[in-house]
Amino acid sequence: MPADCRGLAVTASSADEAELLDATVHAYLSNDPGTGELLGKLMLRAPEMPMAHCLRGFLLNLAGRASDLGRARESLAAADRLIARANERERRHIEALRAWCDGELTRATALFEEILIDHPRDVLAFRLAHYLHFFVGAIVEMRDSAARVLSSWEESVPDYGYVLGCRAFGLEETGDYAAAEAFGRRAVELNADDVWAGHAVCHVLEMQGRHREGIDWVNHHENAWAERNAFANHVWWHRSLYYLELEEHDAVLDQYDRYVWRGPSDDNLDITNAAALLLRLDMLGVDVGDRWHQIAGVVAETRLDERTRPFNDAHFIMPLAMTGRRTESDALLASMRGHAEAHLNEAMTIVPTLRDIGVPLAEAVRAYADGDYARAVDTIMPIRYRLLPLGGSWAQRDVFARLLIESARRSGRTRLARALLAERAALKPTSGPTWKMYASVLDQLGDAAGATAARERAGQLLAA
Ligand SMILES: [Fe+2]
C-alpha cells in the first residue's frame, strides 16, 4: 500500500497519488493560495482515494460558509462510498468529517485526537484538531495537543516546522509568551512562508505590548506572507493593532484601506478583521468616514441567515448596527436566537455558545451603536469572564473588553470604568491609550494625583 511522506499508509492506486495528497496537505499547511487548484487535481487524479474526499470536506468546513457546508456533505457521501477500501486511520477521518458536517465540533476534535494517539505524524489530523480547538476556545487542549505529537516528530520529517508553529500559538494563547516566541521564530526560520507561525509571534508581541517590534516583524516578512492566502490579511490586521496602540490613527486607517479591507470581501476573517478594527477606532472617537457601509453591504447581503460561528456573528452585527440598518440588525439577531433555539437539543457544539455568549454580545454591540451604553454594560458584565468558548484569540476578543470599558465611560458609570481600566492597565502595562483613558477617568472622579501619574505614564509610553 502506498504511504505518505511521513510513512502513514494511504489508500491510493499509486505512489503518485499519495504524493499529490502530500503536496495538497503541504499547501494547506502553508496557507498556499494554490491549495484549491491542487485539491482539484487530486480529485481528478484520485477519485477513489478516501482521504482526497475527506480533505476536500475538511477544507470546505474550514471555509465555514453555509454553501460550503453543503458541498462538504457531498464529500462525506463520496468518502462513505469508499469506506470499505479505507484503512482504520482513514475511517476515523471519515467519522470526524461526519461529526464536523453535523456541527459536532467537539466530537470531530476528539476523533482527530484519537487518530493522533496512534498516528502522531498525521499532520492533517493535527492541524485540523488545532483549528477546531481554536474555534471553540479550547486553548489548553490546543497547547497540549502539539506537545503530545511533537515527541514523535523530528526536524527531518516533512512539514515539521508547521507543527512548531501550532505549538507556538498554543503556548501564546495559554500565556507562555517566551516559549511561544521561541517556537514561532524557529518555525519561520525553517519555513519563511509559515504565516501561521509568524502570526503566533505577532500575538506574542501584541500581548507583551511590543508594538514597534510587531510592526518591524510584519514588515520584515511582508513579501513572503503576501504570497500566502487571505489569512495574510489577518496578519496585516495585527499590524494595524500595533499602530492603534501607538495612537497612529492615520496609519491605522491607511493599513485598513491598503491591507485589511481592500474592497468587498466575502471571507469571514476579512469581515471580522475589518469590523473589529473599525469598532476599535469608533470607540476611540476616530472618524472612519463611510468605511462601515461597504462591510455592512456584504453582511446584509450574505450573512443574515448564516450561522456557523458565534464569534463571526458577534462581529457581523457591528457594521449593520453602526450604519443604523435596524431591520437587518434585527434580522441577524432573530436568526441567531432562532438558530440557538431550534438546535438546543442537538449535539451541535456552537449552540450553547451562540445562546449564552454570541447573542448577548451581539445585543451589546447593537446597544452601543444605538447609544444605549448602560444596556451594553449590563449585557456584557455578567458574561465577561465567560467569552473563551466563543473562540478566536485573546487579541480578537479584546474588542469586547474595550466595548465594556467604553460603554461604562459613556453611560456615566465612571467608578466602574475606573475599576476596569485599573484592571486593564495591570494587564497591559505598556498600553499608552489605556493609561491615557485611565487618567481621564481618574480626573472625572477628582483623583488629580492619580490622573497626573497615569497621564505621565501614557506620555512616556507614547513618546517611546
Ligand atoms: Fe490573530
> Residue 347 pLDDT more than 90?
no
> Residue 46 pLDDT more than 90?
yes
- Supply the pLDDT for residue 348: 85
Q: Could you tell me the pLDDT band of residue 344, with boundaries at 50, 70 and 90?
A: confident
Q: Which residue has the higher pLDDT, 307 or 242?
A: 242
- Distance, in Å, from the CA atom of 420 to the CA atom of 425, rounded to the nearest integer, reads 9
Q: Could you tell me the pLDDT band of residue 296, with boundaries at 50, 70 and 90?
A: very high
Measured CA distances, 409 to 105, 118, 421 (Å): 38, 53, 10
CB 114 within 8 A of CB 371: no
Q: Could you tell me the pLDDT band of residue 66, with boundaries at 50, 70 and 90?
A: confident
What percent of the chain lies above the pLDDT cut of 70? 100
Mean pLDDT of 121-127: 98
**Ligand 1 mean position, distance from CA 318 (Å):** 19
Q: How many Cβ atoms sit within 10 Å of the Cβ of residue 423?
A: 13
**Ligand 1 mean position, distance from CA 397 (Å):** 10
Instruction: List, for residues 227-261, the tens digit of each pLDDT value.
Output: 999 999 999 999 999 999 999 999 999 999 999 99
Instruction: List, for residues 70-123, the tens digit of each pLDDT value.
Output: 999 999 999 999 999 999 999 999 999 999 999 999 999 999 999 999 999 999
Q: Could you tell me the pLDDT band of residue 1, with boundaries at 50, 70 and 90?
A: confident
**Ligand 1 mean position, distance from CA 449 (Å):** 37
The residue type of 332 is L
Q: Could you tell me the pLDDT band of residue 410, with boundaries at 50, 70 and 90?
A: very high
**Ligand 1 mean position, distance from CA 393 (Å):** 6
- Angle formed at CA 283 by CA 281 and CA 286, multiple of 5 degrees: 45
- Distance, in Å, from the CA atom of 206 to the CA atom of 234, rounded to the nearest integer, reads 13
Q: What is the maximal distance between C-alpha atoms in the chain?
A: 78
**Ligand 1 mean position, distance from CA 5 (Å):** 30
**Ligand 1 mean position, distance from CA 231 (Å):** 9
- Supply the pLDDT for residue 306: 87
Nearest to 132 by CA among 343, 429, 391, 432: 391
Q: In the chain, what is the straight-line distance between the N-terminal and C-terminal CA atoms, in Å?
A: 61
Mean pLDDT of 421-431: 96
- All cell numbers assigned to 420: 476596569
**Ligand 1 mean position, distance from CA 203 (Å):** 6
**Alpha helix segments (H runs only) across 2-138:** 15-29, 35-45, 50-63, 66-81, 88-101, 105-118, 123-135
Beta bridge partners of 3: 9
CB 80 within 8 A of CB 89: no
Mean pLDDT of 301-317: 95
Instruction: List, for residues 146-202, the tens digit of each pLDDT value.
Output: 999 999 999 999 999 999 999 999 999 999 999 999 999 999 999 999 999 999 999
**Ligand 1 mean position, distance from CA 48 (Å):** 37
Average pLDDT of the chain to the nearest whole number = 97
- Distance, in Å, from the CA atom of 359 to the CA atom of 356, rounded to the nearest integer, reads 7
CB 196 within 8 A of CB 169: yes
**Alpha helix segments (H runs only) across 102-174:** 105-118, 123-135, 139-150, 160-173
Nearest to 195 by CA among 256, 269, 120, 129: 269
> Residue 65 pLDDT more than 90?
no
- Distance, in Å, from the CA atom of 132 to the CA atom of 441, rounded to the nearest integer, reads 40
**Ligand 1 mean position, distance from CA 234 (Å):** 6
